[in-house]
Each structure stands twice: as structure tokens, then as C-alpha cells.
Amino acid sequence: MKVRLLDLAHARSGDKGDMANVGVIALRPEWYPLLARLLTSDRVAAHFSGVISGGVDRFELPNLHALNFLLHGALDGGGTISLKTDAQGKVFSTALLRLELDVPADEARRLGLPGSA
Amino acid sequence: MSGRETRTGRATVRVASGQGFWGDSLDAPRRQVEGGEVDYLMLDYLAEVTMSILQKQRERDSDMGYARDFIGAVESMLPAITERGVRVIANAGGVNPPACAEALLKMAASHGATLRVGVVTGDDLLPQLDELIRQGHTLTHMETGESLDTVRDRVLSANAYIGSEPIVEALEKGAQVVITGRSTDTALTMAPLRHEFRWAADDWDRLAAGIVAGHILECGAQASGGNCLYDWRNIPDLANVGYPIVEAGADGSFVVYKHPGTGGRISVQTVTEQLVYEMGDPTSYITPDVVADFTSIRLEPAGPDRVRVHGIGGTPATDKLKVSIAYRAGYKAVGTLVYAWPDALDKAEAAATVLRERLDRLGLSFDSVLVEYVGASATHGPLSGIDTAPWRADLPEVQLRFGVRGPDRAAVERFTRELAPLVLNGPPSVTGFAGGRPKVEEIVAYWPALIDKDVVKTIVEVTS
């Protein structure tokens, strides 16, 4: 079944030069392994295709039940150079939460994911 | 050697956050020292672009170049500092810490008060920049690898990010207020902990703990319910939001809390959102003092609006310091118009097409032209799904946001004259131009580089 990341995680984003970072935090600790397995850097890069010009780095923070993504070439030069409304990458967080994950139905039920009952 | 208790014999030290950037709430510092007992107040005034703004101000007036809000903030807290012994640490000095100290002393004197003010300098590398380059410090761009030569003649400011050591020294010399220039945001919190508990310069785990505490405090209320996505509707009383406070013990573990009776929230979720903010590789959060490992952090609830943080590990600092260089990088202007239902987005898109064509016919060229549609796709781009949404034609209104950037000021200026005419000679149902022509802004861009640590000599002076 398809599950929106918005229903599985919360997030905060910020900037470093022309790069946006998005920290994605599982809404429940027991959902973190699912995120860590399915939310790959390829998956995130495909999601932002046409939005960012560079690649995606991914880091795991199992202690915080969180993943951190670095989106390169996300900010039209970043900082003061950028012409974008979101020059500092503040809302790349919710843009990532639009992503939909394919979760096996029995696993979704076992984990009590929204919409799986 | 490190102590098990503070210099005054207590088991913990409380550091409060009172400012997350220059422009943050004016009342927050005073509310932090009046809302309950705290030992230290840290105020972060500097962002990457702030140094260049301050540099421009100092060029116009040699007594300027620091965060002037800071003087009023200290004024509002004078009794707490002089009578209750709260000590204040701020990077408000910007590119001119001595002028900031002088203004502070003058303000104090006008109230008949005396202050011991510690001033940290030495981060400003601009006067010696050419000498450093001659010595072989190339200051190449950390991300692009470009040589600084390409922008050398346009450099406005160059400051090394300095760590906790000079702040600790100022505290040891009895400063009641410590003013720095470009110290790291995290050092403002870590320094008083290191001072009180006498943490050694190679006590990596504890220094890292102090850095993590600093990262939690450096954005003010962003750790206590502000800008928090998790359960945002139910975060209480943001109008009266309490800024975060860290109460730390000698082992480096600490509790994040806020004053009783304040709004906002401190929970594992609010703290976690702040921890991942502006995060790079979490295993190596590099600072001048230590490399902190954010994958070692343990968080647990410790009562209402209290989170305990412990288990933090660190590894030795590198032999480099980051340098923040600001340089002039051309001009930009952004203008907006609002288009109304029906077909608001189609009208805004048609207007953008007309405007592009007129700029072409005028022979104007830019490094970058960016068109956004606020209300449709400005923040999430194609991810908004607007192009295939059934309600596309029914958007009540869309704001066209049209920006240009380039090296030629005259071209950017000319662009600003082309927007308003669209009101009469472009697509219909247009409004929202009352603000007048867009303003041409000079771009001051940011150039991050590294430099050998031993090149940067900080100086600490404490007034008597």
C-alpha cells in the first residue's frame, strides 16, 4: 500500500550554502527501521528530480530515529545570491514529506501505519 | 583537571538562550533572566550574511559594525547582571567588538553602573588577508574548490570562526559580559560549561556535550516549540513562548527546559527537530574545539517540558578553522504582481512570458532569471502537483514573483521599470503593485574556506 511520508515522519530543514538539509524523524520509534529501509538516497533524489540540480547524500541517526538528507544544488546559489522565496531551504522539509512509500500491506498493519487497519 | 562541581560549589550550571539571530525577539533576553534563576545567558547575533552587513556599516562609520540591539538588551538586564551575577556571552561584536564594548560601557555608565566587559578579538583576518595569501594560505572555496583570486578584489570581510578558548579566558578573568566577533554559535554555550567544570582542552566527550547543548540553544525558541512541525496545532501559547535553557552537570549530561509559566513546548520531538537543523554528516559535527558525534546523543523525557540529553561522544578537533569570507557578487531585484480568479495561474504565467520577451527585446541579459508562482508552486515547485490538479483554474489568486540577478546594475535597474507597466499593458485581473518598483540590491555573497588554526591569534581583554 502507499503511505505518505507525512503520515510517518516529521521533519526540519535548513541550508548550508547551495545545499539544503532535511532531517526526517519517525513519528514513532518503531517506524524508524521502515524509513531507514525504504527512504533511500535514490528514492529522495528521484522525488526531487527537476527541483535540485545536484545529488543527494544520506545519513542515519538511529539514536534519534532520524535520517538526514543533503540536497545539493537546491537553492539557486543559496544565501544572499538566491532569488528563491525559500532561499534558505526552510520548507524543503515538507516538500520531502509529500513523498509516498510503498509498504507491504501486512507490514503496514503490523506497524499500525495510518490507513492500514 | 575537571571538577565535579562548579567553581561556586554547585552541581549544575544553567545556560539560557536569549537570541537566535540578529532580529530575534527584543524581549527574550530580559525574559530569560527574569523568568527564573539562570547563571549564564547566551545571545547569538551572527549568521553567515550578518558579518558582511556589519562590515558595510563599519565602512560608513568606524564606530559601527556590531549588533546594536545588544546594547538595549544588556540595558534591560542590568540589575540581573550587576546584582544577581548573571553573566552574558554574545557574539554581538560582529566586525567591531571594541566599539561594541565601548557602547556597552557608556550605556552602563549612564545608569551609574560598572561592568567588567571581556572583549575577544583576532577573528578578523581582513587586515592580513593579502599577507596570508602570500604565505600560501589559498583560502579556496570549501565546496567549489575555486581560488579566492577570482573574487579577491571584491572581498568585504574575512573572519575565522573561533572556539570556546578565548571566551573561557575572559570568564576566568572575571568578565560579567563577554563580547566576541565571529565565534561559533555553539561556543557561546560550551564556554561557560567548560569554565565552570574546568573541562580540559582534550576532554572530547564533554566538550562535544557542550557543543550539542550549544546547537540546541543557538536558534532560540526553535528548540522550544517555535517552527516545530510535530503536533504544531497543540503547542500552547506561542505568544508567550519560553526560550530554552540548559542545566548541565560536570559529566556533560544536561536537561533542556524553559521557565515555568511560559508557552511553547520542550519535548523529545521539539529538541530532535532542532538537533537535525542545518545538520551535515551527523558523525562529525566539526567545531574549532572538538568534533561532536550527533549519532551518540541520547534523549529522554524528564517531566513536563523537560528533556534529558546524555551519552554524547566527541573526537579530537582538526587543525583547521573555518573562515567566513564575504564578497560583492553583483545585483539582484525581485518584483511581484497578484493575479485573481478565474485562471489566476494562467494569467500569471502569461504575464511572465510577456515580461521575458520584453527583457529580451531590450537586449537585457542576466546570470539568472527566476519566476515563481506564490500560491501555486513557489515553495515546492513541481512537487506541488499544481499542473495536473483539478483545481488549477480555481485558485483564488496567484502572486507572480519575478527575479533577476546579474553583474550589471543598470540592467537590473532597467528590469525594475518593466514590471509595473504590466498592470495596464499585460494580462487582466492584476493587482498588488502598491509597493512600487522593486528595489535593486547589491549581493554580498558568502565564501567558506579553511585556514590553519595556528595562524589565528585571538586576544582577550577585560575592562576593570
Which H, E and C letters describe B419-435, residue by residue? CCCHHHHCCCCEECCCC
* CA–CA separation, B12 and B292 (whole Å): 22
Q: What is the dihedral of CA B302, B306, B308, B309, to 10 degrees?
A: 160
Q: Give contacts of B227 with chain A, Cβ < 8 Å.
A: 12
Binary contact (A77, B368; C-beta < 8 A): yes
Q: Residue B2: pLDDT above 80?
A: no
Residue A86, burial from CB neighbour count under 10 angstroms (0-12, 13-18, 19+): buried
Binary contact (B448, A76; C-beta < 8 A): no
pLDDT confidence of residue B434: 72
Lowest mean pLDDT among A5-9, B5-9, B318-322, B455-459: B5-9
* CA–CA separation, B240 and B391 (whole Å): 38
How close B363 gets to chain A, by Cα (Å)?
Answer: 21
Q: Residue B1: pLDDT above 60?
A: no
Residue B151, burial from CB neighbour count under 10 angstroms (0-12, 13-18, 19+): middle
Task: Name which of B14, B156, B188 is nearest B84 in CA terms.
Answer: B14
pLDDT confidence of residue A61: 98
Angle at the Cα of B10 (from B9 to B14), degrees rounded to 5? 135
The answer to whether B273 contacts chain A (CB < 8 Å) is yes
Binary contact (A23, B334; C-beta < 8 A): no
* CA–CA separation, B418 and B355 (whole Å): 7
How close A110 gets to chain B, by Cα (Å)?
Answer: 23
Confidence of residue B131 (pLDDT cuts 50, 70, 90): very high
How close B22 gets to chain A, by Cα (Å)?
Answer: 16
Do the beta carbons of residue B48 and residue A79 sit within 8 Å?
yes
**Identity of the residue numbered B298:** R
**How high is the ipTM of this complex?**
0.98
B293: helix, coil or strand? strand
Binary contact (B403, A83; C-beta < 8 A): yes
Confidence of residue B47 (pLDDT cuts 50, 70, 90): confident
Q: Residue B349: pLDDT above 70?
A: yes
Cα atoms found within 13 Å of the Cα of residue B190, Cβ hemisphere only:
30
pLDDT tens, position by position, B233-263? 999 999 999 999 999 999 999 999 999 999 9
Do the beta carbons of residue B77 and residue B83 sit within 8 Å?
no
Binary contact (A10, B269; C-beta < 8 A): yes
Do the beta carbons of residue B254 and residue B223 sit within 8 Å?
no
End-to-end CA distance of chain A: 11
pLDDT confidence of residue B48: 75
Q: Which helix (H) or strand (E) holds B333?
A: strand B320-340
Q: Calculate what percentage of chain B has a pLDDT beyond 90.
A: 92
Which residue from B minimizes the CA distance to A13? Answer: B277
Do the beta carbons of residue B166 and residue B195 sit within 8 Å?
no
User: Which 8-state DSSP code applies to residue B244?
Assistant: P
* CA–CA separation, B419 and B438 (whole Å): 8
pLDDT confidence of residue A3: 97
pLDDT confidence of residue B83: 95
The answer to whether A85 contacts chain B (CB < 8 Å) is yes
Q: What is the CA radius of gyration of chain B?
A: 25
Q: How far is CA A95 from CA A64, B382, B432, B458, in A?
A: 21, 10, 27, 43
Q: Across residues B152-157, what is the average pLDDT?
A: 94
Do the beta carbons of residue B157 and residue B325 sit within 8 Å?
yes
Strands (E) across B161-200 are located at 177-179
How close B4 gets to chain A, by Cα (Å)?
Answer: 27
Residues of chain A with pLDDT under 50: none
Binary contact (B276, A12; C-beta < 8 A): yes
The answer to whether B143 contacts chain A (CB < 8 Å) is yes
Instruction: For residue A103, count other CB atoms closer than 10 A to its CB.
Output: 20
In terms of residues, how long is chain B?
464
* CA–CA separation, B256 and B268 (whole Å): 10
Grid cell at residue B311 = 551519552
Q: Give contacts of A57 with chain B, Cβ < 8 Å.
A: 281
Task: Name which of A113, A117, A93 is nearest A103 in CA terms.
Answer: A113
pLDDT confidence of residue B283: 98
Binary contact (A79, B49; C-beta < 8 A): yes
Task: Name which of A13, A92, A104, A52 is nearest B273 in CA terms.
Answer: A13
Q: Which helix (H) or strand (E) holds B72?
A: helix B69-75
Grid cell at residue B93 = 561584536
The answer to whether B126 contacts chain A (CB < 8 Å) is no
Spell out the residues 6+ positions from residue B311 whose beta carbon is closer than 8 angstroms to its own: B253, B296, B297, B298
pLDDT confidence of residue B111: 97
* CA–CA separation, B28 and B43 (whole Å): 10
A27: helix, coil or strand? coil
* CA–CA separation, B67 and B46 (whole Å): 8
More confident residue, A79 or B295: B295
pLDDT confidence of residue B169: 98
Q: Give contacts of B283 with chain A, Cβ < 8 Å.
A: 59
Q: Which of B216, B277, B279 to mutate to test the interface with A (most CBs of A within 10 A)?
A: B279
Lowest mean pLDDT among A85-89, B48-52, B199-203, B427-431: B48-52
Pairs across A and B, CB distance < 8 A: 126
* CA–CA separation, B91 and B325 (whole Å): 17
Q: Which residue has the cell 492584476?
A: B430
Q: Which of B56, B146, B232, B383 to mutate to test the interface with A (most CBs of A within 10 A)?
A: B383
pLDDT confidence of residue B52: 79
* CA–CA separation, B403 and A77 (whole Å): 14
End-to-end CA distance of chain B: 28
The answer to whether B31 contacts chain A (CB < 8 Å) is no
Grid cell at residue B307 = 528533556
User: Which 8-state DSSP code applies to residue B272?
Assistant: H
Do the beta carbons of residue B292 and residue B323 sit within 8 Å?
no
Q: Give contacts of B49 with chain A, Cβ < 8 Å.
A: 79-80
Q: Please report how the helices B204-217 and B268-275 are oriented relative to each other, as an axis angle in degrees rounded to 10.
A: 100
